[in-house]
Amino acid sequence: MSAAVASLALVLLAQASSRPRYGGAAHIVLRDRVNTLDPLGEEDHPATRDRMNALIFENLTSMDAQGRLRSGLASSWRSDASKRVWQFHLRLAEFHDGSVLTAADAVASLQRSMGEWKITAIDRQTISIDATASAPHLPELLALPRFAIAKKTPENTLFGTGPYKFSEWQAGERLVLTANDDYWGGRPFPDSIEFQMGLPLRDQLLERQLGPYAAAELTVDQLRSIEQTNQNIMISRQSDLFAIVFLQGDDAAGRGRKPVDPRIREALANTVNRGAITSVILQKRAVAASGILPQWLTGYESLFPGNNSMDRAKELRSETAALVIVPPIALAYDASDPISKLLAERIALDAREAGIVVQPFGEAHVGNKQARSSLNAGAVLLRLPLAATEPSVALAARMDEMGLLPEHSALNLKADQPEQLFDLEGKALQTFRVIPIAHSSQAVWLSPATHNWQQSPTGSWQLDQFWVEGAR
Amino acid sequence: MWPFPDCQSAGFTVQLKPKHPQSSLMPKRLSALARCFLCLLVLSICAVAQENSAAAASATEFAQQIVARAGNPQSMSVSFQNISVLLPEMQESVQNAIFTAFRNANVRLVKPEQSTVQTEIIFSEDWQGYLWIADIQSGANKQMVMKKVPRPERAASAKAPVLTIRKNTVWQQDAQILDFYLDNQQLVLLEPTEIAIYAGDGGQWRPRYTLAIVHPESWPRDLRGRLIVNGSQLTAFLPGTRCTGSSSPPTLECRASDDPWQIDSSGLAGFFSPRRNFFTGILAGSSAGASVIPFFSGATWQSGDLKQWLFTGTDGRARFYQYDLSAPIAIFSGWGGNMAAIRSPCGSGTQLLMSSPNDSVRPDAVQAVEVLGREALPVSTPIELAGPVQAMWTAGKNSEFVNGVMLSPETGRYEAFTLNVSCGR
């Protein structure tokens, strides 16, 4: 009998029950510091801002944890045959200031995000978007954080419609959100969520105790110590791209800083020891990258050449040096990210073997697209999140972020078939303005009291069913 | 003999019950094992055959695209590379289909040095399916053909059917199902915004009516509901709302209400929190006047002369009561929140079907448990489900079923199903 009881205990694990419970305060630790919550504001760590904003603001559409398109503030949508003009019907929802969401609000918000579109209100609950060109994946595109629907008051206060409302905000330090009791999708389970930004977690990890937190973002170098203590860690697919992006395109010659010679760019691409980077610096939580999008997302990344021949690098460098003076490359990396620092130093070390001088330096605003353009650097080392699981949208977002597409022209990507995407990505890579280094995972530690935490394949968090044990 | 499953039928449903069980010459134990084995064998053969056939059709289409893109050459060399999880036998089947399609297009397959067109076919994959790539080299001209091919769904679990819990899928749909009622004539679904009524028609359920649920407030998250059907009379309990109406003529009226919900047919009823996902603990019906801690699920049953109750509390602990509700005589930890009692001819006659304590975004399992004395004993092995259980309610005239609802993470669809318990192991 005791064996039977024991087997029951095994089957019905010693965890808490499956039905979500209301109440409690969740404390979440974020790696980076965020200075503005404006979805369109200039921000050094937009991916972290978007994590928090996902609880405050909503989009017309959303993607679920399995990468499927779901309705958001739009309850339904349809397009014309050319997929150029789309109509979205809004559900009944309220902004956090108590006002009802109308088509006029959605139009005003989307116009701030995408001025090139012709966006109009058809009636109080329906909007029309003329994308000016065929946009087969417009619903997926509208799920990107930059298309969040926000109501901006004349005093520049932003209101969202999401499951949580602002409560306290200290830029770069903490954000406290409280549950929106009137949320159209049902009040969220926790009473409040507090984000604490920029905590190094060094002391907590040394003590092997993350104590009061519900969840904490981890860097890959922190994983080993946590894993040894058999704690609950969620590791995403290899979604983040580390890449070197040269700030000046070849067409920028004569204007401002001189672009790095394309042969030197190609040579640099060949010097990078991706194997060492992925296995040592990124602790085998990454794979070498040859494309902008990872193999697991597209299935075709392996067709791009790996560019890992030191001989070829030396040859290109010699050829170039015979014709022009090869200046050093100033490589800026995110000063707040120790992994980026290690990566940049390793890149410089590998480049030296081919006679290329790379001078890495830490910069606070590398992640800020607008600020980046005025950096006194030839190239930047970027860590780019994967914005979507729809490859064409993900590619558009990454190319836009890297400055490989004109501002706000994500919809220039009409590519729908894998061949078209492969061609487009191949063209972007063949100029060597972007040198993919590695696709890396994201990791989050979860407390035993944290439940229903979901991570999408892109690494983004899906917290709609999230709850914590504590007060009811 | 047993009817062999039709490979074309959806879901490879197999009838395990022999047509003439008494006529079998095999000993009972051997017969069951043999049935299992045969069933698994048939399932495997059918699954592989179907997968191969679908892959072959895609391969033919792919080959035709390659020929067209290559400019209808007279000859071509072809090589293959597999960087996906495509199984060798399926790869061979696909390759054969490609060869056949090339021959049908009058393309001779030759060695690389004998042709100006070389094609390398790569079987790759992304996170959702296969990606077949043809890299066509024709002189200096290079072309690509890529074809997305869905990954076949995993075959049904090949576990031996020794389970005493049997699951039957009733209905699947995208819209959320809160509860349902099923008899020979009708299927009634309770959804957040309507009650949908279907009529049986030649083995299929055909939609008859939908009755809108009108309510002024937004529903709580983890919305729950209870549907009671008595003849043509419909009663739906939702948090803070009660709807009454009939299926014939179709009417429904909803009003704000804190009336207690009927939990099972034995008369157990309880008040439900109007803005949450649990019963407040104040009981009504046959246990009126008593209160317990807030709970997600409750059950009451008779064991001889003894009345018993079990409630799965919102604190993650289940409390077992005998005789009266003054104090629990046993508390069990680590149980799931969903539970329903079921009557069967087995064991003590009443089992409790329990969901697992996994997070409610993960696939669930349901296990039958009996409470004897102060101990809870598992009386079945768990039946694994494809998704988390959303609802479980006792159903049937004699409580011989449990109606369940689950959400499949793979398809994103809700599935209504029934569970019953049989004695054979």
Q: Do B389 and A18 touch (CB under 8 A)?
A: yes
Nearest to B357 among A18, A22, A472 (CB): A18
**Average pLDDT of the segment spanning B217-228:** 92
Contact B367 A20 (CB under 8 A): no
Pairing of β A434-440 and β A240-246 = antiparallel
How many angstroms separate the CA of residue B249 from the nearest CA in chain A?
30
In chain A, the percentage of residues whose pLDDT exceeds 90 is 65
pLDDT at B315 over 90: no
Alpha helices for A384-446 (secondary structure H):
391-401, 418-430
Do residues A190 and A179 touch, judged by C-beta distance below 8 A?
yes
Mean pLDDT calculated for residue range A161-168: 96
Which chain A residues contact residue B376 at CB under 8 A? 5, 8
Contacts of B287 (CB under 8 A, 6+ apart): B267, B268, B269, B300, B309, B325
Q: Which residues of B touch A452 (CB under 8 A)?
A: 359-361
Instruction: Report whether pLDDT(B29) > 80.
Output: no
**Residue B222 pLDDT > 70, yes or no?**
yes
Start-to-end C-alpha separation, chain A: 35
Give the pLDDT score at B157: 37
Indicate yes or no: CB of B296 within 8 angstroms of CB of A17.
yes
Chain B: residue nearest A21 by CA?
Answer: B314
| Overall pTM surpassing 0.90 (yes/no) | no
Tell me which residue has tokens 């079923």. Answer: B401
> What are A227-246's pLDDT values in tens digits?
777 788 888 999 999 999 99
Q: CA of B221: which chain A residue's CA is closest? A: A186
pLDDT digit string, tens, across residues A51-100: 999 999 999 999 887 788 999 999 999 999 999 999 999 999 999 999 99
Q: Do A189 and B222 touch (CB under 8 A)?
A: yes
For residue A376, the SS3 value is: coil
- pLDDT-derived band at A328 (thresholds 50, 70, 90) equals very high
Interface contact A472-B314, CB threshold 8 A: yes
Q: By CA distance, what is A451's nearest residue in B?
A: B359
- The beta-carbon neighbor of A302 closest among B83, B314, B389 is B83
Residue of B nearest to A418 (CA): B146
CB burial string A408-432: b at 16+ within 10 A, e below: eebbbbbbeebbebbebbbebbeeb
Please list, in sequence order, all residues whose beta carbon lies within 8 angstroms of the beta carbon of residue B112, skipping any fewer than 6 positions away: B77, B79, B118
Instruction: Please report residues of B whose CB lies closer than 8 A to that of A4.
Output: 377-378
Average of per-residue pLDDT values in chain A: 88
- Of A272, A290, A224, A236, which is closest to residue A440 (Cα–Cα)? A236
User: Which carries the bigger pLDDT value, residue A135 or residue B47?
Assistant: A135
Mutation target among A1, A7, A10, A12 for the B interface, most CBs of B within 10 A: A12
- CB–CB contact B377 A5 (8 Å): yes
| Residue B338: how many other CB atoms lie within 10 Å | 28
Residue range A281-301: mean pLDDT, rounded: 94
Which residues of chain A make contact with B130, given a CB cutoff of 8 A?
299
> Measuring CA to CA, which residue among A272, A172, A286 is closest to residue A219?
A286
- Amino acid B425: pLDDT: 58
Q: How far apart are the first and last CA of chain B?
A: 21
Q: What is the pLDDT of residue A86?
A: 97
**How crowded is residue A257: how many other Cβ atoms within 10 Å of its Cβ?**
13
- Residue of chain B nearest A463, judged by CA positions: B361
| CB–CB contact A66 B125 (8 Å) | no
Interface-testing mutation among B120, B142, B144, with chain A (most A C-beta atoms within 10 A): B144
Sign of the Cα torsion B419, B422, B424, B425 reads: positive
Q: How far is A178 from chain B (nearest CA, A)?
A: 15
Neighbouring residues of B378: CB distance < 8 A, sequence distance ≥ 6: A4, A7, A8, A11, B367, B368, B369
Looking at the predicted structure, is the pLDDT value of residue A252 above 70? no
CB pairs below 8 Å between A and B: how many?
161
B377 vs A12: CB contact, 8 Å cut-off?
Answer: no
Question: Strand pairing partners for B76?
Answer: B109
Q: From residue A326, how far is each of A266, A274, A312, A372 by CA, in Å?
A: 13, 24, 16, 23
Give the CA angle between residues A467, A468, A472 to the nearest 5°. 95
A82-91, A149-158, A194-203, B70-79 — which is least confidently predicted?
Answer: A194-203
Q: Is pLDDT at B291 greater than 70 in this prediction?
A: yes
pLDDT tens, residue by residue, B4-28? 233 333 222 222 233 333 333 333 4
Task: With CB atoms and an 8 Å threshold, state whether A11 touches B276.
Answer: no
Using DSSP's 3-state secondary structure scheme, residue A370 falls into helix
* pLDDT tens figures, A345-376: 999 999 999 999 999 999 999 999 889 888 88
Residues of B in contact with A418 (CB under 8 A): 131, 146, 148
Tell me if A418 and B382 make a contact (CB, 8 A cut-off). no
User: Beta strands B330-333 and B317-322: pairing type?
Assistant: antiparallel
Could you tell me where the beta strands, DSSP code E, fall in A171-272? 174-179, 192-197, 215-218, 232-235, 240-246
Interface probe for A, chosen from B84, B125, B127 (most Cβ of A below 10 Å), is B127
Q: Do B337 and A18 touch (CB under 8 A)?
A: yes
Q: How close, in Å, is residue A62 to chain B by CA atoms? A: 14
Within 13 A of A323's CA, how many CA atoms are on the CB side? 8
Tell me the CB-side half-sphere exposure of residue A136, using CA atoms within 13 A: 8
Flag whether pLDDT at B47 surpasses 80: no
Q: Can you say how many angstroms the Cα of residue A34 is from the centroid of all Cα atoms in its chain?
A: 14
Report which of residues B140 and A257 the model is more confident about: B140
Spell A261-294 as b/e; 16+ CB within 10 A means b. bbbbbbbbbbbbbbeebbeebbbebbbbbbbbbb
Residues of A in contact with B387 (CB under 8 A): none
Span B205-232, mean pLDDT?
A: 92
Question: Looking at residue B51, what is its pLDDT?
Answer: 59
| pLDDT at B289 > cutoff 50 | yes
Report cis status (omega within 30 of 0) of the bond before B357.
no
What pLDDT does B424 receive? 66
Residues A38, B315: Cα–Cα separation, whole Å: 38
The whole-angstrom distance between residue A288's C-alpha and the CA centroid of its chain comes to 19
How close A101 gets to chain B, by Cα (Å)?
15
Contacting residues of B for A423, CB less than 8 Å apart: 144
Contacts of B377 in chain A (CB under 8 A): 1, 4-5, 8
Of A20, A22, A185, Cβ closest to residue B360: A20
Of A15-19, A34-38, A161-165, B79-83, which gets the smallest average pLDDT?
A: A15-19
Look at residue A165 in the predicted model and tell me its pLDDT: 96
A184/A212: higher pLDDT: A184
- Cross-chain Cβ contact A8/B276 below 8 Å: no
Instruction: Give the range among A242-246, A265-269, B6-10, B77-81 with minimum mean pLDDT.
Output: B6-10
B375 vs B384 pLDDT, higher one: B384
Question: What pLDDT score was predicted for residue B50?
Answer: 58
Strands (E), A210-357: 215-218, 232-235, 240-246, 286-288, 329-334
Identify the residue whose tokens are 């398109």: A69
Q: How many CB atoms lie within 10 A of CB A10?
A: 11
Encoded tokens for B285:
């019906």
| Nearest-angstrom CA–CA distance, A393 and B375 | 56
Residue of chain A whose Cα is closest to the Cα of B378? A8
All residues of chain B having their beta carbon less than 8 Å from the beta carbon of residue A8 are 367, 369, 376-378
Mean pLDDT, residues B231-251 taken together: 94
The CA distance from A194 to the nearest CA of chain B, in Å, is 20
Residue B237 or B370, more confident: B237
Taking contacts as CB-CB distances below 8 angstroms, the residues of chain B near A299 are: 84, 124-126, 130-131, 133, 146
Give the model confidence (pLDDT) of A219-230 as tens digits. 888 887 777 777
Q: Tens of pLDDT along B395-421?
A: 998 899 999 999 998 888 999 999 998
Instruction: Give the C-alpha distances (Å, rounded to integers) separating B386 from B155, B167, B174, B227, B367.
Output: 12, 12, 15, 24, 15
Q: Is 60 exceeded by the pLDDT of residue B257?
A: yes
DSSP string over B82-97: E-S---HHHHHHHHHH
Among B358, B374, B379, B407, most A C-beta atoms within 10 A, so best to mutate, is: B358
pLDDT of A27 > 80? The answer is: yes
**Contact residues on chain A for B355, CB-CB shorter than 8 A:** 18
Closest-CA distance, B21 to chain A, in angstroms, reads 32
Q: Which of B146, B148, B316 minimises the CB distance to A17?
A: B316
